[in-house]
Structure 1
Amino acid sequence: MTGRPVVYVVDDDADVLASLAAVLDSAGYNCLTFTSGYDFLAAAPKAVESCAIVDVRMPKIDGLSIMEELFRRGIRVPVILMTGFGEVPLAVRAMKAGAVDFIEKPCRFTELREAIGRALAISTKEHMEGQIEGDAAQRLARLTQREREVFERLIVGESNKAIARTLDISARTVEIHRARVMEKLEVKNLPELVRLSLSLGPSASK
């Protein structure tokens, strides 16, 4: 890789691929092309700053199915769908399912560039959020079972006394566990603890 943003293009039409590759390469993107959706999925795209432009209508596996498979595998690559005449309803359905944008063939460069810009912004944001979530998860793994129980009650606003009653331990023991939770999770106060839990999403309360 060259360090340039990566744009994957998936289309069974070789002429379309060649045309888009030339335009995107000249615009400063690292363009990788695939004539088959299965080949694209096999490549397991993982570039940090990247997006995929995928044709809606292709044999064997269509654009919507490719997008769904990416989501199923947990591959965070924003998808822009290319549609032909009369395929806008399908593209709208795909956007409701998670596609970030769609462009109509033949693609105009200004529209293409704008769609790619939006998709790459999403890609960068999701990567940063993934890093934050991963760091928070690593810290959460440091907690003992009892510390985790105290953590789960702290982030919903329970007082030390309430936690002591729920867990059938003394308030002093709760204070000790609370201090250890703060230390292990590298937070200074309750607001920071809550923000960290929010970065984990639903997994924080499991």
Structure 2
Amino acid sequence: MILFPSADPSDLTQNQYASTNKGRHVYLLEDHESFRMIIEKVLTVHGFIVHAFENPYDFLSLKSIEAPAVIVTDMRMPKMNGVELQAEIAARGKQIPFVFISGEASLDQGLKAMKQGAIEFLIKPFDIDELMKAVVKGFEQDIRHSNLLLLNKKQEDNLAKLTKRERDIYGLLLKSYNNNELAEATGLTINTIKDYKAKVMEKMGVKTLADLIRQNSEIK
């Protein structure tokens, strides 16, 4: 079973995790009832919102998954193992971090899980701190991914505001063209180039050329 620290797990509600983990959803899949209850309690007292399932099919039947989210799942479950669940989630177009727990998973399963992007592979028995570090790492990844999607969406919306000529100027600005180089490449006057640059900056929501280039690099 899990190796608890010396403190009573019920006292952990006031620890460093409880306040920072509010609103974070852990989807727990474990077919062993007593083990599932232990992990659910540990995660709950650390401030997470825990959704516990006995089998993958109940989880997969959900109409929606709350975000940010991390999946903590046993590797060996009846009818569908953890790697198969991980592949099914990916096939549905979802990128949810996985933390695997197992008592007797094969090396091949572990390697495949990690190749498919698993955060951690914990072998029972494991320490609470190991589980917490893995789950927190998973949330950091999920939040980072969500922020990246928002940045991408924002840039797509901003790019849609640009005229064809402004898009041309935008592409050259990303290559660090100065005013003279822009004028030579487009055949426009310096004053016209300055007007186009100002419009591009305004529509893309940036103040400087460095900010524009940085914005573009961050979403790649």
Contact 1:80 1:102 in 2 (8 A): yes
RMSD across aligned positions (CA): 2.7
| 2:65 corresponding residue in structure 1 | 45
- Choose from 1, 22, 41 the match for 2:41: 22
User: Structure 2: how far apart are the matches of 1:115 and 1:68?
Assistant: 20
| 1:204 corresponding residue in structure 2 | none
User: Structure 1: how far apart are the matches of 2:58 and 2:175?
Assistant: 46
User: Structure 2: how far apart are the matches of 1:68 and 1:156?
Assistant: 39
Contact 2:148 2:219 in 1 (8 A): no
**What TM-score do you get using the length of structure 2 for normalisation?**
0.75
Q: Which moved more, 1:10-19 or 1:50-59?
A: 10-19
Shift of 1:8: 0.9
Q: Which moved more, 1:179-188 or 1:50-59?
A: 50-59
- Choose from 140, 157, 176 the match for 1:138: 157
Tell me, what secondary structure is at the counterpart of 1:187?
A: coil
- The count of residues paired between Structure 1 and Structure 2 equals 198
Is there any run of 5+ residues in structure 1 with no aligned partner, and where? 202-206
User: Structure 2: how far apart are the matches of 1:179 and 1:33?
Assistant: 53
User: What amino acid does structure 1 have at the position aligned with 2:30?
Assistant: D
- Choose from 97, 100, 120 the match for 2:116: 97
Matched, 1:190 2:199: no
- Choose from 166, 176, 189 the match for 1:157: 176
User: Structure 2: how far apart are the matches of 1:174 and 1:59?
Assistant: 65
Is there any run of 5+ residues in structure 2 with no aligned partner, and where? 1-20
**What TM-score do you get using the length of structure 1 for normalisation?**
0.79
1:115-134 C-alpha deviation (Å, 9 max, x unpaired): 22222232333333333333
Shift of 1:191: 0.4
| 1:32 corresponding residue in structure 2 | 51
User: Structure 1: how far apart are the matches of 2:212 and 2:189?
Assistant: 19
1:7-63 C-alpha deviation (Å, 9 max, x unpaired): 111133334323322332233322101233243234232322x31102222344332
| 1:200 corresponding residue in structure 2 | 219
Q: Which moved more, 1:182-191 or 1:75-84?
A: 75-84
- Choose from 61, 75, 85 the match for 2:94: 75
User: Structure 1: how far apart are the matches of 2:176 and 2:84?
Assistant: 43
Shift of 1:93: 2.8
User: Structure 1: how far apart are the matches of 2:157 and 2:109?
Assistant: 40
User: Structure 1: how far apart are the matches of 2:41 and 2:22?
Assistant: 18
Tell me, what secondary structure is at the counterpart of 1:77?
A: coil
Contact 1:133 1:199 in 2 (8 A): no
| 1:58 corresponding residue in structure 2 | 77
